[in-house]
Structure 1
Amino acid sequence: MESKDAPRWGSWSSSYFVGAASSFLSTVLTFPIYKTIFRQQLHTLTIRAATRQLGKEGVRHLYRGLAPPLMAKTVQGTLLFGAQGSLQHLFSTGGTPGAKSRALSGCLSGAIEAVLLVPFERVQNILQDGRNNVHFPNARSIVQEFQTYNKRDWLSCGMYRGFSIILVRNMVGSAIFLSCKEPLRDLLTYPGLPAWAPSLGSGAVNGAFTSLVLYPLSVILANMQAEVSNQLPHVRKVAQRVWMKCGGRVSLLYRGASLIILRSCITWGATNCIHDTLSKQLL
């Protein structure tokens, strides 16, 4: 007889399947929203102006840059639900994961995720900037450009430009999300609610909060990674330039935050809901 605690699949197999499926669907659904947010961050535009800019470029360019995040999300799903689960089990005392072990495992899985996914995000951000449509029509042309750099610049200015920002963002974001995921779900569980509703609400609220907290880092990263150059500006200088572009106003810095809430609610709500539903069947 099988042990009640034994997973029907291997932990990595089930985590990979759950992460890949939920991330693929949510990425396709929310990509136009994300692209609009990216244009707002890059050019300090209103939602209407960013939407008008994308409309002028046409439908065929709307999903330009989708391939890198689709591939990245597959890896991200494995790391978020696989590596984090393994690390959490390692750090747990007495077999029961606590807040400290969830936060620590989230930080480490976020760091691993950053190391593996920076090149995908770098290529994606270049492709999403309309100023690069002609000179860099596809991901291959971007990689070929980076190959003209010397070895040191290929990393710091090419594929891994903005790595330090992504490392901090992913570690903090993963720690927050994974620490609050289960407590929020339990808090939102009420008699009579569908089984999937607490997971959906937990993912939506948690994802939106995490994204809002880290939004300034995303703005700086968008401005840093969209540029194709073998000259690497200091993070502080990029932050100062972004702040000046916003006229020193927090409201302009957070322009696009409303779409961040919408995208994060859909993305993490769906991801969390699918993950918890499939986990009950596969684990």
Structure 2
Amino acid sequence: MESRNAPRWGSLNSSYFVGAASSFLSTVLTFPIYKTIFRQQLHTLTIRAATCQLGKEGVRHLFRGLAPPLMAKTVQGTLLFGTQGSLQHFFSKGGTPGAKSRAFSGCLSGAIEAVLLVPFERIQNILQDGRNNAKFPNTRTIMQEFQTYNKREWLTCGMYRGFTVILVRNMIGSAIFLSCKEPLRDLLTYPGLPAWAPSLGAGAVNGAFTSLTLYPLSVIIANMQAEVGSNLPQVKKVALRVWEKCGGKVSLVYRGASLIILRSCITWGVTNSIHDTLSK
């Protein structure tokens, strides 16, 4: 397994390179699904209503906002698989990593992701909200808006809005995914199956479970980050507003969860399969 050896920069089977390549490909394939989910989270819409909303905006707006997540997910894959390999190698002292070292390295890699990738997610969520199409047609106009903020506003309402929630989500999510990644793959390995199939299945199941578990945090993040202004409500008020918008029903909080499962199955199944195939 790739985690038994320290990753090497510049080699084709480097966990850093493989993580970047697999995440890049899966992001392009699943972006329309993600955008539909985002609209559901933001406006509490049904799948049909969210799809119709995107259809009315036209094909030219379908991939609007792709650049930030494409860069972010590529960096995320590099960090998730690359730092996980390095950290596991360090904590296990070159031996076979145990459950604790996988979980701890996952938490650390998730924290690093949060610090580096929050600005990408912030810009992506602003661009994906149709209400911002006129005022913020591109990334440059968003950056110009944030430049008018003072230092405190730049952190709380600008580029790092929602950082605390994202930090918690990423640390827990990375710990779960990386802890279960290899055990699930080994469990699904049967004689006669193609080499990529167990990794595809393990990534799909693992990604769907992780995303579904953390879905309420993602809803709060989407609502926080789509807003633009220098005096915005913080986490507790946004969470309360989301709860009230959903009429106090957990079922409405989880509206869009079916697409989350579909997207996560595809995204992490493809990512995991490509990663494990290229790592060999």
Q: TM-score, length-normalised on structure 1?
A: 0.94
Q: Which residue of 2 aligns with 1:180?
A: 180
Q: Which residue of 2 aligns with 1:129?
A: 129
- CA contact under 8 A between 2:5 and 2:94: conserved in structure 1? no
**For residue 190 of structure 1, what is the amino acid of its counterpart?**
Y
1:228 aligns with 2:228: yes
Q: How far did 1:12 drift?
A: 7.2
Matches of 1:49 and 1:269, distance apart in 2? 27
% same residue = 86
Q: How far did 1:21 drift?
A: 1.5
**For residue 108 of structure 2, what is the amino acid of its counterpart?**
L
Matches of 2:74 and 2:20, distance apart in 1? 5
Question: 1:97 aligns to what SS in structure 2?
Answer: coil
Deviation per CA, 1:50-71, whole angstroms, max 9, x where unpaired? 0000001011100000000111
Q: How far did 1:113 drift?
A: 0.4
Q: How far did 1:93 drift?
A: 5.3
Which region of structure 1 is more displaced relative to structure 2, 250-259 or 226-235? Answer: 226-235
Q: How far did 1:17 drift?
A: 2.0
Q: Which residue of 1 aligns with 2:34?
A: 34
Q: Which residue of 2 aligns with 1:151?
A: 151
Moved over 3 A (4+): none
**For residue 85 of structure 2, what is the amino acid of its counterpart?**
G
1:10 paired residue among 8, 11, 27: 8
- CA contact under 8 A between 1:204 and 1:265: conserved in structure 2? yes
**Correspondences of 1:87-236 after superposition (within 5 Å):** 87-92=87-92, 95-236=95-236
Matches of 1:119 and 1:188, distance apart in 2? 37
Q: What stretches of structure 2 of length at least 5 have no aligned partner?
A: none
RMSD of the alignment, in Å? 1.4
Q: How far did 1:6 drift?
A: 6.5
Matches of 1:12 and 1:248, distance apart in 2? 52
- CA contact under 8 A between 1:12 and 1:82: conserved in structure 2? no
- CA contact under 8 A between 2:5 and 2:89: conserved in structure 1? no
1:52 aligns with 2:52: yes
**For residue 253 of structure 2, what is the amino acid of its counterpart?**
L
In 2 relative to 1, CA 182–49 (structure 1 residues): closer, same or farther, beyond 3 Å?
same
Matches of 2:88 and 2:141, distance apart in 1? 40
Which region of structure 1 is more displaced relative to structure 2, 112-121 or 75-84? Answer: 75-84
Question: 1:136 aligns to what SS in structure 2?
Answer: coil
**For residue 254 of structure 1, what is the amino acid of its counterpart?**
Y
Tell me the number of residue pairs that the alignment of Structure 1 and Structure 2 aligns: 275
Q: How far did 1:18 drift?
A: 1.0
**For residue 46 of structure 1, what is the amino acid of its counterpart?**
T
Matches of 1:213 and 1:67, distance apart in 2? 27
Matches of 1:120 and 1:78, distance apart in 2? 15
Q: How far did 1:11 drift?
A: 5.3
